[in-house]
Amino acid sequence: MKFYDAHNHLQDDRFAGRQAELVAASRAAGVARMVVNGSCEEDWPQVSGLAREFPDLVVPSFGYHPWFVGERTPRWREALVEFLDRTPGAVVGEIGLDRWKPGLSCDGQEEVFLAQLRLAAERNLAASIHCLQTWGRLLELLRTTPRPARGFLLHSYGGPAEMVPPLAKLGAHFGFPGYFMHDRKARQREAFKLVPADRLLIETDAPDQLLPDAANLHPLTDARTGRALNHPANLPDVYQFMADLRGEPLTTLAAQVEESFRRLFGAARAVDTGGPTLTIPLMSNDIIYPRSARETMAGWAYLPRFVDKIRLHLAGKLHTDYQENFAHKGFDAKWLQTAGLTAEQFIAVVKDTVTDAQVCDWVAKNVKKSAEEKAAFNQAVLNYGRENDPAVKARLQMRKEQSGLGHRDDLQCFVDYIDADEKRI
Ligand SMILES: [Zn+2]
């Protein structure tokens, strides 16, 4: 059986250079992959070093943790973009909001959190979010800010049970840590009973969030302080606890978590080819879906989706369902026409870039259209099928029925239909 640690801090100084030993013990325990979260500019190089050393195991994650936001340099955002651009398979985290830590200032927390969430959304990368005692505000911000189409992780979810459904609706996955195995964490465990099976992830948060002594099979001590540390090889115990809590076999839980982990964090990298990394969504199933038409780039709705389709096309991975309209019909053609470009011109632009940020810069510089023209295009795309044209409405209904979505009255336009067909809503 393979175990996936959705959140830890293998780079933490308290591990005092024993990382290779921890990795060996974790592999022996069946840990297949782990998301290693940086927390500030200072530890990002360590995270990328671990990803280079253990490429099949470590999913490198870069972000500013709310506890360290006050230490950021003026160019923190550029530094983050560089780490995301040059580290294969990189995701965003740990980011978040904290109203719990005594003495911690709120200054800059929201601004830094939102800037990072937007970066994750633009690139459709998973974001790992920390939240303590400010769940209502987090929900509000998530509702009104672009989110990664592939979803995000609420690590060590300790919010109210009744907030699980609305958060799940926005794309939340919920990380369960071994710390919630303590008797006093009954309220947190209750919330996890409401987490949909395909949104559940398991984490150690090592070196923090120690398990109860009886379950801690890998005792570890911080040599400098004598304090107990959590070992990442404790992960299978946390899985077993969750399987018991949900009353299902460990194998069932493990298979489900594996699928969710891969959907959110991408497939494993067998070897680092040294080539450019494309920010296309990697899915565990056969079809790689482009991003939602609702995502925007340089003020244009639909554009991130078109860029994904071009990258998939260039990689020979554009599914046949998307090939008929590709670049010459439908919304693809509509955007090109509005932007005053030919398909060949724009495909060449995407081909010459590695990241979304580069495409975005090119479009911002070379496609000079007014805010009104962009808004008109965005409205036309996002509402297509909603207006009262019986022929268009009939075609929408036909597409819904072909996809087994005929009963979904909430799908009122083509973009709704596409989001449902690609399993985002
Ligand atoms: Zn953490």
How far does residue 388's CA lie from ligand 1's centre (Å)? 50
The alpha carbon of 247 and the centre of ligand 1 are apart by a number of angstroms equal to 27
Task: Find the CATH number of the domain harbouring 143.
Answer: 3.20.20.140
* Euclidean distance between CA atoms 125 and 117, whole angstroms: 9
Phi-psi region of 409 (alpha: psi -120 to 50; beta: other; left: phi over 0): alpha
Q: How far is the CA of 355 from the centre of ligand 1 (A)?
A: 27
Q: Is the pLDDT of residue 271 over 50?
A: no
Span from the CA of 59 to the centroid of ligand 1 (angstroms): 14
Condensed to tens digits (0 to 9), the pLDDT of residues 399-409 reads 998 888 988 88
| pLDDT band, very low/low/confident/very high, at 269 (cuts 50, 70, 90) | low
Residues 254 and 322 both lie in one domain: no
Structure tokens of 196? Answer: 């949909």
pLDDT of residue 355: 73
The answer on pLDDT for 297 being more than 50 is yes
Least confident residue range of 41-55, 247-261, 262-276, 348-362: 262-276
- Those residues whose beta carbon sits under 5 angstroms from the ion ligand 1 are 94
- pLDDT bucket at 272, cuts 50 / 70 / 90: very low
Strands 300-301 and 3-8: unpaired
Closest CA to 210 of 218, 202, 200, 199: 218
pLDDT on residue 298: 86
Cα of 34 vs centre of ligand 1, distance in Å, is 12
What confidence score (pLDDT) does residue 407 get? Answer: 87
Are 303 and 266 in a shared domain? no
What is the distance in A from the centroid of ligand 1 to the CA of 33? 16
Ligand 1 centroid – CA 384 distance (Å) = 42
Structural domain tally of the chain?
2
Q: 402: CA distance to ligand 1 center in Å?
A: 44
Mean pLDDT of the chain: 91
Using an 8 Å Cβ cutoff, are 59 and 91 in contact?
A: yes
Whether residue 313 sits in one domain with residue 226: no
Cα 8 to averaged position of ligand 1 atoms, centre (Å): 6
- Spatial CA neighbour of 150 closest among 129, 173, 175: 173
- Over 60: is that where the pLDDT of 131 sits? yes
CA of 423 to the centre of ligand 1 (A): 29
How remote is the CA of residue 98 from the centroid of ligand 1, in Å?
12
Q: What is the mean pLDDT of residues 94-107?
A: 90
Write out the E strands in 275-329.
Answer: 296-297, 300-301
Task: Note whether 371 and 323 are same-domain residues.
Answer: yes
The average pLDDT across 104-118 equals 92
Q: Tell whether 69 is covered by a domain.
A: yes
**How many Å apart are CA 269 and CA 131, to the nearest integer?**
30
Residues 212 and 99 reside in one and the same domain: yes
* 67 pLDDT higher than 90: yes
pTM comes to: 0.66
Give the residue from 220, 237, 270 where a domain finishes: 270
Residues 310-326, mean pLDDT to the nearest whole number? 86
- Cβ count near 319 (within 10 Å): 13
Give the tens place of pLDDT for each residue, 376-404: 999 999 999 987 888 898 889 989 988 88
Predicted pLDDT at 206: 97
Give the range of the structural domain holding residue 28, as residue numbers without chain letter: 3-270
287: pLDDT strictly greater than 80: no
Q: Are residues 219 and 172 in the same domain?
A: yes
